[in-house]
């Protein structure tokens, strides 16, 4: 019994089960440390600590799938830590920056320059992040809406099969002849229409089941910190700090809770993404080419980020904002007509 409990395979398996949660808690520690650094006025340190938190948070789910260590506890822990890492901590960082580096208050300042407005918009941002994460936790329990045309074609196919079976069994009656001719006409129209692909290359990567609803919490934190990153690089601002910060809190908060459909990293994985499937982890590759690409692109991007944080942050933020209308239009109009929902 002693050797069975303390044997190396048993310890290795236990560590594998705990490792994803350790990554999640490490991300939480980095996030809280970033808030403490912001309180002390070390905004670059707070930025990099929050960046480390985002990296660790991005790894924990993929590590859990790769190690076959997924659990309901890990999912709930990840969601709670995300609220702190990307809802509370980024808000506290930019709130402290606005208070310490904002323009001096005067009696002639407009009402939206008031510290109370800044405080309320920060609370709004944090509450929106909590709502966004709670809704995300229900995604697996709520069915994805099906494209309307796929159900119409399925009903037509069932009617055609039922009609052909009845014709073989007996001679159709007058009303049945009329219904049969109508089905034949619909079948001819369908044959002339362009075929809707069901298993295309695009369907393997981009489908309605892989879209996020609303801006995800890490991306929201990225956008929220942008005014501070500009100030850290330039040393000054061309805008009113408290006004812009309140506006960013408000807009990003609305973006998190709205029905806007956004791209997700799950679209880089071919096929359906399941929480218990180790093949749907970015830490595993289905081919040598993808493995080499990940080994080159990811370290290269991280190195570039550390060397040019301002430029990379601004380009990534701008690029993500530009994808928001594209992703929503793609989800709402293009996919319903051309790609079958997974």
Residue 320 pLDDT: 94
Residues 67-100 pLDDT 10s: 888 888 888 899 999 999 999 999 999 999 998 8
| CB neighbours of residue 100 within 10 Å | 12
Separation CA 49–CA 305 (nearest Å): 14
**What's the pLDDT at 117?**
92
Instruction: For residue 103, give the 3-state DSSP assignment.
Output: coil
DSSP three-state, residue 264:
coil
Instruction: Please give the Cα distance from 39 to 59 (Å, whole number).
Output: 27
Q: Among 4-13, 140-149, 320-329, which stretch is predicted with the lowest mean pLDDT?
A: 140-149
Which pLDDT does position 179 carry in this prediction? Answer: 52
Q: Which two tokens stand for residue 29?
A: 């520690």
Kindly report the pTM of this predicted structure.
0.74
SS3 236: coil
Q: 206 near 268, Cβ under 8 Å?
A: no
Span 105-136, pLDDT tens digits: 777 778 888 889 999 999 999 999 999 999 98
How many CA atoms within 13 Å lie on the side-chain side of 118?
A: 22
């Amino acid at each position: 019994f002693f050797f069975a409990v303390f044997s190396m395979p048993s310890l290795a398996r236990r560590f594998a089960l705990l490792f994803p949660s350790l990554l999640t808690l490490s991300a939480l520690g980095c996030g809280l440390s970033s808030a403490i650094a912001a309180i002390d006025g070390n905004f670059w340190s707070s930025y990099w600590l929050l960046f480390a938190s985002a990296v660790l948070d991005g790894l924990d789910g993929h590590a859990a799938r790769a190690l076959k260590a997924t659990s309901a506890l890990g999912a709930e822990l990840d969601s709670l830590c995300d609220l702190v890492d990307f809802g509370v901590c980024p808000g506290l960082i930019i709130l402290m920056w606005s208070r310490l580096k904002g323009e001096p208050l005067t009696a002639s300042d407009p009402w939206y320059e008031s510290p109370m407005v800044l405080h309320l918009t920060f609370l709004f941002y944090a509450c929106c992040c909590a709502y966004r994460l709670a809704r995300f936790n229900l995604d697996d329990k709520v069915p994805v809406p099906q494209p309307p045309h796929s159900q119409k074609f399925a009903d037509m196919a069932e009617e055609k099969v039922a009609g052909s079976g009845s014709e073989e069994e007996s001679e159709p009656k007058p009303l049945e002849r009329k219904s049969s001719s109508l089905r034949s006409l619909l079948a001819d129209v369908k044959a002339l229409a362009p075929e809707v692909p069901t298993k295309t290359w695009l369907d393997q990567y981009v489908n309605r089941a892989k879209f996020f609803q609303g801006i995800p919490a890490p991306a929201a934190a990225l956008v929220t910190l942008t005014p501070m990153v500009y100030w850290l690089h330039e040393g000054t601002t061309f805008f009113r700090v408290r006004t812009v910060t309140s506006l960013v809190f408000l807009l990003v908060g609305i973006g998190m809770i709205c029905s806007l459909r956004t791209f997700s990293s799950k679209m880089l994985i071919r096929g359906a993404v399941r929480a218990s499937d180790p093949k749907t982890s970015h830490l595993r590759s289905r081919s040598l080419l993808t493995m080499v690409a990940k080994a080159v692109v990811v370290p290269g991007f991280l190195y570039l980020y550390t060397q040019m944080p301002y430029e990379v942050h601004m380009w990534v933020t701008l690029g993500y904002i530009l994808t928001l209308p594209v992703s929503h239009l793609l989800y709402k109009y293009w996919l319903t007509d051309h790609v079958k929902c997974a």
